[in-house]
Structure 1
Amino acid sequence: MKRITRTIVPFTLAGLLSVNGLLPAVADAASNAASGQFKDVSANHWASQYILKMGLRDVVAGYNDGTFRPDESVTQLQALAMVVRNMGLTEEAKKYESTAIPYSVPDWAKGSVALAISKGLIKPTEKNFYPDMPASRAWVAQLMVRMIDKESEVGKASSTLFTDGSSIPDWAKGYVDVAVANDLISGYKEGAGTAFKPNRAVTRAEMVTMLSKGERFLKIESANTRIGYLQSVSGNTLTLTDESGKEQYRYTITSDTQFYNGNVKTTSANLGTDSQLLVISENGQARYVEVINFKQKSKYDKAVLEKVFIEANTVVLRLADGKLQTYTIAKDAVIGAGMDRLKLSDFVNGDEVEFRLNTDGQVSELFRTGLSKAQSLQGSVYDVDKQNKLLTIKASSGKLETYQYSDITYVEYKGKRFPSIEDLLPGDEVKLELTNGIVSKVVVEAEAGKTNGGDVGTVKAISDKDRFVTLQGEDGKIQAYTVAQNAIITLNGALAPTLADVKVGDKVEFKVQKDMITSLAVKNRTVYNNKDLLSGSIFALDKKNRILSLKTTNGELKAYEVVSNAEILINGSSKKELDALDKDMNVSIQLNEDNKIIYINADNRVRAEVVRVNTDDKLLTVKLATGETKVYVVDPKVDITIYDVRGEDLRDLRIGDKIAMKMNGNKITDIEVERSFVYRVTENGGTYSNRLTVQDENGRSHDVIIDSRVTFSIPGIPYPRVSDVKKGDVLRATYLGDDLKEIAIVPNVYGQVVSVSPEMGRIVVRDLNGVTSEVTAAYGTTIQIGDRQYTNINVLKPGDRVQVAEATNGAKSIVVLTKVETTFNSLDPLGDRIYTAKQSYYLPDSLFNRQVNLQSLLRGLRKGDNVAIYLLNNEVYEIEKVN
């Protein structure tokens, strides 16, 4: 079970308590909860804080007589429904309403119960879910452990000594231990000991308390619930920021605002700067504020880099107080700039940095926050504004820098007579010189599209240990070189290649300085791009002479020699010898320029497509890769793995599913199911170059790691890197079982809705370049507007900004961007933040790339101008001046 981003949708509670003959009034109850005025919950009630918070979060509600009834017990069905809402799965549960379940429950609860089964919250095989039975403390302990995804710890946590431990059912003991260890539940003091009372029914007050304690394991943020760090409290305004400090959120404090520090009531005056807060708001007013400190805000010291000693792994920094300090870089230090990972050699004197020390006084994290002045004056031409005499370049960090030029600015452009600023083209590599802040000279070092490449050759010998490589140049001459310790190694598809990844026979491009290789790029192969692989099955294998005969997918037979140092993988595990391979194994192979095998990726599983599932007789009919249809007996203890599904069995298989099977004789013992999901990228890895944080169609958050086992593709980029993925991109992730196999960026359209034709199922979208596209919304299309999801395009209206992408089922996934209407105040001098009457917004580089006229639009804004700002995943996607 994954950590979950909560989507708030009003949940109908009518059925939840109807089993007791009592119907809660949701609107009145929410009002009561917001003010804490339940008739039977006094301000000093031990659970008043949790009752208030869960009411504001729509997890629970009061009754229509104005009471909460904190001491009333909850049934198992009621407890399960509360957990589903606490996890933010209300909307997803609606999709399961027609799913058959082995329980008799009211119609309103069927979706929640079916979803709970699919998520592993309850398991029919355990036969301990009785909807109308009071929920015992032992049963709730199990439910809470599953809610926070800690079931893997059951049986591993230290046993808790309760005076009545012998009365805890055997099936519940491990869950109780985990629940206690994670502070979800506790015992009752009895004399000198503590009793658990496993069979005692859980009350409504106890249930909301346990749900609240589980919040730190879930992502509960929504439209009205936010977690951030306190920036300031000024008057009646509370300002919150995200961890980076780039996003700000302001709330109005009223006399009704409730403040807590943990479980102790407090005031706004006692809130500490940078404290992590949970804020629940309504119409911009803070209704509930709690100091949670689940995660301390990262604190870094600022400095200017004065000297880098690469060979000694040491830096000299000038601290904020002007003092010089020398630090050693820790071996496992994280070094980067923004979302890019860097090497120490990428830093130059004068760079502005933020750093943090470990307990040994060594630098554990070092991030470049600003280029040195010398470095910032170099880059590629991004824009030339002739009217205002502004030259914008893109520095090596990716940051845009704008400089004023004049009529007498001198341009040095080799091959052009009397060059001027007007001769500069986007992409030209330039170096600038300033006089009194004005560009006095522009030196064009390379024209757009042309780079100063190095020499080329073929690797004849290599030693990673001794760091030398022998190369044969195009002229046939052979020469040995030492490879510098900080040399840049490039290998298509590899995330962080080293000299050890370079193979004999590789075609390389290299650069030499002072008789040492400073950069070496392999040009003839990629480590995991499947476009160049041959696929089939092993028809014959001569291990002595190292000859592999391949039967390709189209039936051809081909024989290849396997080089002695070939890389061999079987189901992702590295093997050294051909002995690990067997006849009939499915394989993908890669050849070098001599048509010899240098890479083998083998799979000992049978690949097939599901044709029919007979759950009664345990029979599975499949279509094999050869086109042959076969019927197999399924072992009663078959292990079925489907990504994001718990408690899988044969009933979870769908006709048309692609699967990988393992056999024991004629029986299937293991089945891994291939499933694809469409995600939107919300974060690109931070300092980890192979990690993406994404959000699925139900608003849940996932982390995907793209390593060498994952096929990765981006349209238009032959050899993509994870850094090529941008926040807001849409991708299709394909899993085989729980293993991520493929990531493909899905082309998407961003623009303004021009027209909507519900009867035709079509919308017309115009992008920022004025190009219109007609989008057909087939069955299954979803439209996301804020925290709500719709299936009918009539919720769209002309003028909406939307992102349209292909969904997994061939339909469309449409997200309507959040529109903020406000007035312009000012632009940050660096040009990367806009200040408005509501708040400030960070302007990422991707925004300037997408909205090409943005620079001129921003320069034309005056204080008080009306603007519309469009946000996707809290990032600015477009800015519009409104008349």
Structure 2
Amino acid sequence: MSKNQEAKATKGGYSLRRRLISACVALSIVLSPTAGLAAVRQFGDVSTVMPEYRPIMKLSAQGTIKGRGDGNFGPSDPVKQLEALVMVQRFFGMEATATAAASRLTPDMEKKFGGNVPAWGKGYLVTAVNQNLLDANEYFPWHQGATRAWVARLLVRLLNKEQEAQSRMNAPLTFADATLIPASLRGHIAVATDLGLIRGRENGCFDPNSIVTRGEMAIFLDRAERKMDRLPPGIDEATFISGRDAILSVLDEENRLSSLTLDANARIFGTERAVALSDLNPQDKIRYIQDGDKVVYLEVVQGSGQKANVLRGEVIASLPEQGLLTLKDDAGKPFTYSLATSVSVIDLAGQMLSTSHVGPGSKAQLRLNNEGKIAEILLESVGQQGLYGTIVDINLTAKLLILSDGANHYSSYYLADNTTVEYNGKRFASLEDLAKGDLVSVEVDGSYVVNKIILQKPKSTVTVKGTVSLISRDSRLVTIKGDDGQLYAFELPETTALQFSDGTSAAIENLYLQDTVTLQLENGTVKKLVIVRAGNTKGLTGKIASIDANRRLLIVKDARDRLQSYEINDPVILDIEGNTKPTISNLGIDTSIEFELNADNKITYIKSKNTIEGVVTRVDADRHLITLRDAAGTEKIYTVETNAECQIFRRSGEDLDDIDVDDRVKVRVSGDKINRIQVHTQLTGEIIDKTSERIYIKDIDNNERSYTVNSTLKLIVPNIIKPSLSDVTIRQWAVVSYWGDEPYQIAVQTPVAGEVTGVDTGRDKLVIRQYDGSSRTLEKASPFKVDKGGTTSYGLSAISIGDRIQAFTDEQNRIMRAFVASKVSGKIDGINRTTKDIYIGTTVGYHIDSNTIITLNGVRKNFDDIQQKQSATIYYTGGYNAIEVNLSN
């Protein structure tokens, strides 16, 4: 995550160190209220030999400062206090906040600030007080010149060093004119000079009462930026790798290989002077500013002469099964390298791809790790071979083909009249023989027109092989690391056939991390999962019938009362509840256990189980009996103690009479009797707040609850292997799962999103065409709420055909909460590439995230494809979060 991305992810109120909506804007002699990122300019009165040349070029590129309109910058012109205050806030992204705050400047406040404050500066005074740049009660003559001493205080407060400055009010100052420095600013000047923000004059004086010029202010802001813990909006940081033909290869702050395009008129600076692209060295730390998708300003902030371990050339052979890739360099010399375990592939647009896209003929850059293996691939162009994926949609009318690589990445291609289809070398009759879910490879020309489609596997026989990297048995979700190195997440329906490789049946409880598995999919649904190992080595259960600790023998009685003798391996792993240092002697007769065997059929692991999970098939409260069916389908009758504890979430005083058939339960067994029953329930609600450790959820009945996420309460976020609360956003919905009164899992929901194509108020049903092209019919739950246009309603009649919607479902897959998107259309007049916001006639940006659907004339696009002045229709929900953006030329 870049520093700007990190700032964007921070939740809460506005501050100088947090993400703000608007980009920086321009400041001239008469300050202009609106301006955006601009291409860097050359001013007639600013020469390359001036010390302020580079800072002025930076602020010009970022849009903070503009010229005077006559082609000059006016570097020697004095800066008023209000102008300096505005420059500081705009440089660090405060314009949107200040614009919104202008109405809060009361007449009394304005009078205190000198009166007759120009309209463009009113809001900046309010935000300056809120951000502690100005004291709430201080007199602020906005029209007076900004002295060096006053600007020193402004910059120190900007960097949150006020407390340090106060502690140094009596610090000795060595300047020749120290007696001229106001006592109230001595500490600020001490801190500012220590940080190098403002330096003394050559004659040994500080010159505290001298008015700062525009050129000096540019220098001071540039120095302050180097001391910030986050970069200002519009400025990004990377490590330079190589540059060629105006294409820069860089490593971002997460050490991922990426590319940047250099503008023809870009200003490039080394650590001390203006340089050419050829003067940059591999591993130089750089900061840059983009105008649109091109870099217009670049500076080296830390030089390095190290050699980058990067190769560039044409792929001539790709052997993913052997983990090898052969590259031919510009001189024609071939090099073959092994792929690292977690190799990543990215194209010039920043889209993550799979290694299947790197085929013969592709132009690529390879970054090697310390072991000499390929860690990252930057795909500059795609060869005719090697484009693989599953058909998401094939539209013969629009002549469009959309493929998915199985990791939520999509590619779009045009079909030609002469596009051919082959399977095992044979021609199909036509394109009509292809279907959604087919696994295909395609050959394309440079304009993404498909010349040939080769059907690899029909949809009914798509197979995925790999190892298990994550399991959620309660939600029946399994994440597989495929043999191609990619991660795939699948839901296992109850109808999925699970078995071991020896043909014996299995259950999800028999699935373990690092198991090798093969999945067979049909229309995207897992129909069969085969665990590649024998069915009698792990996950075995039974009850101890006899134990001989000296001879290390154990006799176990299985669910069918059959006895089996096992030798206990030395050593053996013991997991006995309530025992920190367990031994074999701690095991008792009739104890329920789970155990594993090694290849010699010896027990290597024993877990003492006093809890059992199952589904209730019969309840006899009068006789204190309950019948449970376990995961293997075996039913058993248990006696329930008279005073057994029964727990059902949101119920009190529960007993055996409150347990129903088909309830999923977890019971604690002592001997042959149950002394506790916990019923499985779920709560669905909206995430309304969060902290670093807690999450706050409001259910459909407006009841608010908070949860601490820790080792006993697991968090699940779609497509994230090890999620934290930083991966959760407000207004998402989640399902909280309980055993009795104890929550054990919070699973964030992926909303059902798309266009409403049918509303049946009579049968309480809603039809949504999802963004993947499929349709889904949802029944309305009770209670039900829908937000539309700022109004909350309780029936489907508030929803119309054509609405774009985000819907959340309960555990029965019924729609219980819906948000209908608002709509805005017009010309895009602003784009913030850093925060991924686009603007249409407002100072508020419509935010684009990874779930936003972007299309141009019906073809799927990425955020980087959005351009200024394009016509756009945006569908957005609360917080100006765009769910769909339709572009047109």
Q: Which has the higher contact order (CA 8 A, sep 6+)?
A: 1
Normalising by structure 1, report the TM-score. 0.44
Larger Rg: 2
